[in-house]
């Protein structure tokens, strides 16, 4: 949806800025009454973020909001304080070795906090993430959201992973070929019996291509 941003001098009525935009926007301004503090208006939800990343808040914020709304242990999270960026370069046309991380959360740099108002950065490796089943993607987001503290801090695991995920989805939930519970389903609760075997049944990833191959694509979590 197209928007017009206009800045006009209140006294002279002179238009100092007038621009039509069809994407997101982020405006910075100061006041003479609060010692020059920089204020931010608006947020960028979609745009280039360096040579290998793309801002994808428009795509990932809805998923994060659903998880925060459903799970009491996440209710302290303000999703508006998270910048979601997608790495669209790493592992393109490349088979990973070992267990590289797929999604990670980290504290935002001071400049990002000050200028854009974000406290955390979620980084998603597109070419690994899209190979995961829908259930695994949702669980990966839950896993990383549990690292988010209440005031810009990061929480650590209670075991090598989070107990609730391991006890319900299994220790290998990030890499398994088996069908996982969708933790966003209305009838889901922690402590349910383990997943149903998928066997060779294919799943459709977010771009609609059929995938039957097992990928060892996650495991490390540098955010800890």
The number of angstroms, rounded, from the C-alpha of 135 to the middle of its chain's C-alpha atoms is: 15
Task: Look at residues 140, 20, 1, 5 and name the one whose alpha carbon lies nearest to residue 84.
Answer: 140
- What lies within 8 Å, CB to CB, of 17 at 6+ separation is 5, 6, 7
Check if the beta carbon of residue 145 is closer than 8 Å to that of residue 77. yes
Question: Each residue of 72-99: pLDDT tens digit?
Answer: 999 999 999 999 999 999 999 888 888 8
Distance CA 72, CA 169 (A): 19
Per domain, the residue ranges of the chain are: 1-42, 45-211
Cα end-to-end span (Å), the chain: 39
Q: What is the CA radius of gyration of the chain?
A: 20
Q: Which residues pair with 18 in a beta bridge?
A: 6
What sign does the dihedral 92-208-70-25 (CA atoms) show? positive
Question: Each residue of 126-183: pLDDT tens digit?
Answer: 999 999 999 999 999 999 999 999 877 898 876 566 888 888 888 778 888 888 889 9
The whole model's pTM is what? Answer: 0.76
Residue keyed to tokens 């899209």 = 130
């Amino acid at each position: 949806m197209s928007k017009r941003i206009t800045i006009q001098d209140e006294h002279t009525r002179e238009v100092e800025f007038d621009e039509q935009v069809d994407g997101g926007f982020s405006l910075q301004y100061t006041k003479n009454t609060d010692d020059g503090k920089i204020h931010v208006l608006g947020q960028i939800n979609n745009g280039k973020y360096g040579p290998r990343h793309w801002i994808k808040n428009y795509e990932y914020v809805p998923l994060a909001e659903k998880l925060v709304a459903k799970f009491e242990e996440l209710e302290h999270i303000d999703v508006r304080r998270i910048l979601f960026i997608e790495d669209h370069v790493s592992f393109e046309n490349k088979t990973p070795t070992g267990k590289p991380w797929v999604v990670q959360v980290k504290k935002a740099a001071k400049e990002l906090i000050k200028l854009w108002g974000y406290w955390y950065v979620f980084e998603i490796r597109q070419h690994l993430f899209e190979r995961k089943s829908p259930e695994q993607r949702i669980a990966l987001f839950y896993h990383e959201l549990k690292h988010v503290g209440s005031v810009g801090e990061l929480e650590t695991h209670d075991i090598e992973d989070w107990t609730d995920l391991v006890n319900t989805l299994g220790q290998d939930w990030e890499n398994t070929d088996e069908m996982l519970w969708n933790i966003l389903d209305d009838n889901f609760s922690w402590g349910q019996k383990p997943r149903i075997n998928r066997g060779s049944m294919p799943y459709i990833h977010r771009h609609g291509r059929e995938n039957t191959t097992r990928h060892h694509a996650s495991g490390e979590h540098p955010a800890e």
